């Protein structure tokens, strides 16, 4: 079908703020569903449809009365889907047409269309003059609008058809769409061109006025003020609209500041900042900084506090509800609360909870806040290495803000909250300062009454705040900071404590979290012990909780099966169905008494472990080989043990020239795991003596202690965790230094009753306890223990 004779019933697409003229190629975007379906209908037939401007651009669903009567029949050249989910259409205008009536409105518009014939334009001097004037005026328009339109100008210069020139200029200019609709309805090309010239002349004049306004604005701004160009325009607009009155805002600031009843020095300083704000031009950077500062001052809880509840019995009840065990920790916290009850005017003590991950340090702090009825805010200090994070940035910097302490006070909304400084041992320091030094003032009750943040610049009282810090170790905390805190150590949980925590806290929590009822899933004590022993290896209970969550997820799946049981019973035998193969197996202790193999005890960040020491003696030239990824301290400890053995070789019934004729290899298995520390000294010494003398080591004996060159056994740390590891791995006797005897009081009674402890201050006792006596050899060390020492140990129940 020819493009010149398409009429009848055609899809109608309403244009919003746009008009398409004949003989013009235009692209536009379609977003409305009806418009998209009209396009789709046209593409299925002959790609023809009529584009009609709508009268109200805010009308999303115009009807016949909402459309202009004259439109343009176009042929669709291309359709593309844009990123904004709109359809981008390229069309070619064919001819004017009139929509007599809409034949349908759903799912798209369609109408009865007929061709509108134009009146032929006469060839006269008047029309030629109009065309020439149109070319000249359109050139002026292009220059004023600074838009590239060379191709359009060339088409205009090459044509003498006044109708085509009028349509082209109307299509490629900023004439209002309502005027374009009138031009589209004008079928007399000469009058249409005259109207186009009138409209275009108005556009040129408007562009000249806009340019003149811009030139005037630029002339008012010198070279140094060009960066404030947009702000000055906003100021001029606000003044024209009569919105420049800011006095009410300043009065509101002053009123709120006076209501805070700040100290006179602080109040005067803030009032001065309000006076400075009054002098700032609207929208200036300095005004924005001052407004943020004043808002921060008003957000701080200067006079807001919560009523503290100091009740020992309530606090004890809350602590027992939230945590199982931790008796020493609870006792110390209750002592602090008791002091607050007797002496409320005393500043709160600063507590530092130290312990391995997952033992409940953070949750204890939350329980303290709940028991005291105080607000709680947590400050994570792990990885902080900038002093400004603590004390804030000065207002002169872009993006300045208060430090974390004041930010936490704003978050708490009270001047007497509990502030938890989490992971205080993991702060760093660099060229920007040391955040731990900034905490010295915060955690000093004599200084924090007038704490000054760099951003706030006025003193703020922190003396009513109860600070609680947490750390995994005190080794990395600077001594001045550590001196300001009272250390409360949270040790590792015993396996029995983990069992009770799981039964009373973790399992109910996970059942509720996973939508399970207590009757639907039951875990026996054997199953829980199996999870603790074989699927987790930690000081706390975080991994244990993850394992229980995994069991709950698997159980939920099982209970929703087609042939689902009503109840699931978890035992040690069916645990692998839910958690898979056991992740941790008990350390393999020697099957029997072995020469040159000693079981030591080690402390790790996740609890205690047994540490096997293996020694081989070979013919050689006296080399001492140390392997197993050892640190410098452990290597030095092995050399100290070797020196002791050489000095006492005759006493130990060892050849005095063994260091010349024998090569000794000391190895710690699990070479991928770094090991360090002096506490394996007596284990290394015992293993070397066993290998050199051929005397086997008792497999049910474990030991820990540092050795000196004189054979003294020196104290070690982490005894609680080490003894729990010994019990877990089936050890019967544990040798510990004499100076650690006092630490036995801190060990769980279950562990203490199950193990036999041997305390000593010399290596001779270690060797006599750990080594089996050969029938042919009676080493002097067994004879050298004084009888009175034997009797004393016998009476005290401790075996030497």
Q: Angle, nearest 10°, between helix axes 177-185 and 189-219?
A: 160
Within 10 angstroms of residue 430's Cβ, the number of other Cβ atoms is 9
Evaluate whether 5 touches 113 at the Cβ level (below 8 Å).
no
Strands of the sheet containing 607-619, edge to edge, are: 624-627, 662-667, 607-619, 597-604, 701-703, 733-737, 756-760
Q: Angle, nearest 10°, between helix axes 150-157 and 125-145?
A: 170
Question: Which single residue is written with the structure tokens 């054979």?
Answer: 711
The SS3 call for residue 478 is: coil
Where are the alpha helices (H) located in 247-326, listed in sequence order?
Answer: 247-259, 264-279, 285-299, 312-322
- ∠602-604-605 over CA atoms, to 5°? 165
Residues with a catalytic annotation lie at: 679, 722
Residues facing 697 on adjacent strands? 594, 771
- ∠646-651-653 over CA atoms, to 5°? 85
HSE-up of residue 246 (Cα within 13 Å, Cβ side): 17
Element containing residue 439 per DSSP (H, E): helix 435-442
Structure tokens at 107: 């799912």
Q: Give dist(CA 631, CA 628) in Å, integer.
A: 9
User: Rounded to whole angstroms, what are the CA distances from 282 to 16, 79, 169, 421?
Assistant: 38, 48, 43, 40
Q: Give dist(CA 751, CA 753) in Å, integer.
A: 6
Structure tokens at 547: 């394992």
Structure tokens at 728: 């877990």
**Residue among 626, 597, 599 at smallest CA distance from 610:** 599
Evaluate whether 490 touches 361 at the Cβ level (below 8 Å).
yes
Structure tokens at 585: 């197996």
Q: Give dist(CA 23, CA 167) in Å, integer.
A: 8
């Amino acid at each position: 079908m020819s493009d010149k004779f398409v009429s009848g019933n055609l899809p109608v697409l309403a244009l919003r703020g746009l008009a398409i003229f004949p003989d013009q190629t235009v692209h536009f975007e379609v977003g409305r569903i009806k418009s998209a379906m009209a396009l789709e209908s046209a593409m299925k037939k002959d790609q023809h449809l009529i584009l009609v401007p709508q009268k109200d651009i805010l009308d999303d669903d115009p009807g016949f009365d909402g459309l202009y009567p004259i439109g343009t029949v176009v042929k669709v050249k291309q359709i593309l889907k844009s990123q904004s989910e709109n359809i981008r259409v390229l069309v070619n205008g064919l001819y004017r047409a009139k929509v007599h009536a809409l034949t349908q409105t759903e799912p798209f518009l369609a109408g009865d269309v007929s061709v509108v014939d134009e009146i032929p334009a006469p060839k006269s001097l008047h029309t030629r003059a109009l065309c020439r004037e149109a070319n000249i005026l359109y050139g002026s328009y292009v220059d004023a609008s600074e838009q590239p339109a060379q191709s359009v100008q060339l088409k205009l210069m090459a044509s003498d058809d006044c109708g085509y020139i009028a349509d082209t200029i109307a299509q490629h200019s900023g004439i209002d769409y309502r005027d374009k609709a009138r031009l589209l309805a004008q079928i007399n090309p000469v009058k249409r061109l005259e109207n186009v010239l009138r409209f275009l002349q108005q556009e040129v004049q408007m562009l000249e006025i806009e340019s003149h306004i811009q030139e005037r604005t630029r002339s008012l701004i010198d070279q140094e003020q060009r960066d404030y160009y947009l702000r000055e325009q906003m100021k001029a607009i606000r003044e024209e609209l009569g919105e420049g009155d800011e006095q009410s805002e300043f009065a509101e600031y002053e009123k709120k500041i006076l209501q805070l009843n700040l100290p006179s020095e602080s109040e005067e300083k803030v009032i001065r900042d309000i006076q400075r704000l009054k002098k700032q031009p609207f929208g200036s950077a300095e005004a924005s900084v001052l407004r943020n500062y004043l808002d921060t001052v008003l957000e701080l809880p200067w006079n807001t506090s919560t009523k503290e509840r100091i009740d020992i019995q309530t606090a004890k009840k809350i602590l027992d509800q939230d945590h199982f065990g931790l008796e020493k920790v609870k006792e110390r916290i209750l002592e602090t609360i008791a002091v607050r009850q007797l002496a409320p005017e005393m500043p709160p003590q600063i507590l530092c909870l130290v312990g391995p991950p997952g033992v409940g340090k953070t949750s204890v702090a939350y329980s303290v806040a709940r028991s005291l009825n105080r607000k709680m805010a947590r400050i994570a200090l792990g990885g902080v290495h900038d002093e400004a994070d603590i004390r804030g940035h000065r207002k002169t910097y872009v993006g300045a803000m208060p430090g974390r302490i004041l930010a936490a006070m704003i978050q708490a909304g009270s001047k007497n909250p509990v502030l938890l400084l989490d992971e205080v041992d993991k702060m760093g320091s660099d060229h920007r300062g040391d955040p731990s030094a900034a905490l010295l003032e915060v955690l000093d009750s004599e200084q924090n009454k007038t704490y000054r943040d760099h951003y706030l610049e006025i003193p703020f009282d922190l003396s009513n705040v109860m600070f609680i810090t947490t750390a995994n170790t005190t080794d990395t905390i600077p001594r001045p900071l550590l001196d300001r805190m009272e250390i409360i150590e949270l040790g590792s949980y015993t396996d029995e404590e983990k069992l009770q925590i799981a039964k009373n806290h973790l399992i109910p929590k996970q059942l509720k979290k996973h939508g399970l009822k207590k009757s639907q899933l039951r875990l026996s004590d054997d199953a829980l012990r199996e999870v603790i022993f074989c699927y987790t290896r930690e000081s706390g209970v975080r991994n244990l909780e993850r394992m229980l969550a995994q069991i709950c997820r698997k159980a939920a799946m099982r209970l929703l099966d087609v042939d689902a049981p009503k109840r699931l019973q978890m035992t040690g035998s069916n645990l692998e169905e839910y958690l898979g193969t056991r992740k941790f197996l008990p350390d393999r202790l020697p099957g029997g008494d072995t020469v040159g193999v000693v079981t030591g005890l080690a402390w790790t960040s996740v609890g205690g472990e047994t540490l096997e020491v293996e020694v081989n003696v070979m013919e050689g030239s006296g080399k001492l080989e140390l392997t197993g990824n050892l640190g410098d301290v452990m290597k030095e400890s092995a050399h100290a043990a070797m020196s002791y053995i050489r000095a006492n070789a005759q006493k130990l019934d060892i050849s005095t020239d063994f260091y010349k004729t024998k090569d000794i290899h000391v190895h710690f298995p699990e070479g991928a795991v770094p090991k360090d520390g002096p506490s394996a000294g007596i284990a290394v010494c015992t293993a070397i003596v066993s290998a050199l003398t051929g005397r086997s080591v008792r497999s049910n004996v474990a030991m820990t202690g540092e050795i000196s060159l004189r054979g003294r056994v020196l104290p070690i740390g982490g005894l609680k965790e080490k003894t729990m590891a010994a019990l877990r791995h089936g050890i019967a006797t544990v040798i510990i230094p004499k100076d650690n005897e006092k630490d036995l009081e801190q060990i769980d009674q279950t562990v203490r009753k199950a193990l036999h402890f041997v305390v000593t201050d010399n290596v001779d006792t270690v060797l006599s306890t750990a080594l089996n006596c050969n029938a042919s050899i009676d080493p002097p060390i067994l004879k050298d223990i004084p009888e009175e020492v034997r009797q004393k140990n016998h009476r005290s129940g401790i075996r030497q």
